[in-house]
Amino acid sequence: MQKEIDMFSTYLATERQLSKHTHDNYVRDLIKLQQYGVSEQLNQVQDIQVIHLRLLIGKLRQQGLATKSIQRWLSSIKMFFRFCKKQRWVTTNPTEGIQAPKADKKLPKTMDADQVSQLLNIDGSDFLSCRDKAMLEITYSSGLRLSELAGLNLHDLDLKAATLRVIGKGNKTRQLPIGSYALRALQDWLGQRKTQLKDQDEQAVFISQRGIRISVRNIQERFKKIGASQVGQHLHPHMLRHSFASHLLESSGDLRAVQELLGHENISTTQIYTHLDFQHLAKVYDQAHPRANKKS
């Protein structure tokens, strides 16, 4: 099938005008198919059937090829056979109906309670210290997304009731509790906030030193810097949200409540934290059970 691959390669370079890197990836993927065809005496493109592709996917998995790489490979093969059918080299497309293996969900990175405590132990009463501590506390206390934290407005806060309101994904509003530590940090910050305002009508809860709403990028950079100095690791805002969810689920076991607090539409999204919880239990088991680590 060298002729067909060469013509497809020309099509990618001239008509699709793909970058060299992307073009070379497609060609490498097709070489895998070609090599498999030679090994199975499938020398013509029309010899390749659905069963052969399924067997090859299984072989690639056995060889340790990552799921994402297999997904990309199958995407290349599908495009190739669509091209082949358009050229009338094949009458049927053997890739139709073949689904790529689903990628394993990566468990979110979390911090344990001691790490969070160390992270939030920020001294100082200056503008940046008060603001950064309040942002960290409120993110962990209420499990906010980065966009929700940046978009928080004064009218979203009810300090007397210790609650806040956010508009999350899908433009859905949810009301969340504010923990006592976060409430105290927020009150300290609001006192500092007044000193830096340029426009008294500014509604953003968290502002930059320029007196305007702090940007998402600025928050990311501040969290990264604080994470490095406080706990010696890269910190992104979602890590605190993940820690919030994991710690709540670990303590309460109430998956539905955690789903509501996180603003997840489907409980399957929240269920990933049950895996984190199991990892914690498995670790305790390994450390505590007298026969857990017995060597065979």
Instruction: Answer with the residue of higher pLDDT: 219 or 195.
Output: 219
pLDDT score, position 217: 94
If one compares 149 and 279, the residue with the highest pLDDT of the two is: 149
Which of 52, 145, 165, 224 does the annotation list as catalytic? 145
Residues in the chain: 296
Catalytic residue among 23, 165, 184, 238: 238
Query: Which residues in the chain are classed under CATH 1.10.443.10?
Result: 113-237
Position 279 scores a pLDDT of 56
The answer to whether residue 155 scores a pLDDT higher than 80 is yes
List where CATH 1.10.150.130 sits in the chain. Answer: 2-86
Active-site residue (options: 16, 169, 234, 275): 169
273 assigned to active site: yes
Residue 232 neighbours by CB under 8 Å, 6+ apart: none
User: Active site includes 82?
Assistant: no
CATH topology of domain 2-86: DNA polymerase; domain 1 (1.10.150)
Q: Tell me whether residue 285 is one of the annotated catalytic residues.
A: no
Answer whether residue 226 shows pLDDT above 90.
yes
Residue 140 bears catalytic tag = no
Place of tokens 């923990």: 179
CB 147 within 8 A of CB 206: no
Rounded to whole angstroms, the Cα distance separating 227 from 207 reads: 20
pLDDT tens by residue, 6-46 = 998 999 888 888 888 888 888 888 998 888 888 888 888 88
pTM of this structure = 0.59
Which pLDDT band, with edges at 50, 70 and 90, does 289 fall under?
A: low
Is 94 a residue whose pLDDT tops 80?
yes
Tell me the average pLDDT of the chain. 85
Helix (H) / strand (E) element for 177: namely strand 173-177
Whether 225 sits among the annotated catalytic residues: the reply is no
Q: Tell me what pLDDT residue 286 has.
A: 63
What CATH number matches the domain at 113-237, 1.10.443.10, 1.10.3720.10, 2.30.42.10, 3.40.190.10? Answer: 1.10.443.10
Both tokens assigned to 57:
């996917």
Q: What local confidence, expressed as pLDDT, does residue 254 receive?
A: 78
Structure confidence at residue 106 as a pLDDT band (50, 70, 90): low
Triad 142, 129, 153: Cα angle to 5°: 45
**What is the residue whose two structure tokens read 């293996």?**
101
Q: Is 145 a catalytic residue?
A: yes
Give CA–CA dist 42/64, Å, rounded.
Answer: 24
C-alpha distance from residue 84 to each of 10, 32, 89 (Å): 13, 17, 5
Half-sphere exposure for 71 (CA within 13 Å, toward CB) = 7
Alpha carbon 212 to chain centroid, angstroms: 29
Tokens describing residue 256:
């539905």
Could you read off the pLDDT of 185-204 as tens digits, one per residue? 999 999 999 888 888 889 99
pLDDT of residue 296 exceeding 50, the answer is: no
Catalytic residue among 23, 52, 264, 280: 264
